[in-house]
Chains A and B, each alone.
Chain A
Amino acid sequence: MDKIVNNKIKLEFLSKGENVALARITVAAFVSQLEITLSELEEIKVAVSEAVSNAILHGYQNKPDEIVTIKGILKGYTLVLEIIDQGVGILDIEKAMEPAYSTDPERTGLGFVFMQSFMDEVKVESQVNHGTKVVLVKKISTDLKNTAVS
């Protein structure tokens, strides 16, 4: 029998690298209320890992005592995640989202590429010196059951 999932979480944690794993595992547990395929779960974990790493690394420039917030909403088969930091913000969002673009020469600039490949929607709101909010939306496939929707 299909159960209708309707749930919310809010997670706040310090901007420490160790918490990136905590964030992706928590979100994975949250979406596992749905019957989800392992590959979709992996995709969500990568997207969360990218957004949270960016908040810590770029937003807070590796300062370990700031707060990263994740809000998650699960409504039916749609997952909406917001990853929020109050860090330095992004001056040119379009440029930041270009594949292989990074302000750090040591990095690949693939973070947004993965978020966009693995989620159905990626929205970025940002204000310089005020912070950044990344909104990730994913429709969880219903293939496991009966493929009625899209």
Chain B
Amino acid sequence: MSLILHSKKDTLIVRVLGDLDLVSADEIREKIDNSLEETRAQNLLLDLSKITFMDSSGLGVILGRYRQIKEGRGQMIIYGIKPSLKKILEISGIMSLMPVCNTEKEAWELLDEKSVKEA
């Protein structure tokens, strides 16, 4: 597993590559949290398109970050859901909890829309 993190304005963009399971969950949680703190980003865009496997330990990371972002009154959007991840995301209820987009571009558009609405 590896992570690509970068920030743009007040948004952190995270791409996860590889397996998101018991072993990688702790590492991902720590890296995202550190990065959120460093960049003081309020919003989180999570790219799932390069994930090769995910189970409930991985969902725990997503749900935990969601709670945190909501507490800071930010927006979290996930995008790039492969068919193999769809079922577990649906069962977990995540799909109805946070916005799901197809691409990063769509995620940015949605983010802009939301911040306009809230302004």
Query: What is A's interface to B at a CB cutoff of 8 Å?
Result: 17-18, 20-21, 24, 38-39, 42-43, 45-46, 49-50, 53, 56-57, 106-108, 110-111, 113-114, 117-118
Contact = CB atoms under 8 A, between A and B. Distances in A.
Contacts of B84: 38-39, 42
Contacts of A38: 84
Given A38-B84, A50-B55, A113-B91, A107 B60 contact: yes
A21 B19 contact: yes
B92 A110 contact: yes
Interface residues of B, number: 18
Interface string B43-56: 00000000001011
Interface of B: 19, 21-23, 53, 55-57, 59-60, 63-64, 83-84, 87-88, 91-92
A119 B63 CA distance: 24
27 contacts: A17-B23, A20-B23, A21-B53, A38-B84, A39-B83, A39-B84, A43-B87, A46-B55, A46-B88, A49-B22, A50-B56, A53-B21, A53-B22, A53-B57, A56-B22, A57-B22, A106-B60, A107-B56, A108-B56, A108-B60, A108-B92, A110-B56, A110-B91, A113-B56, A113-B91, A114-B55, A117-B87
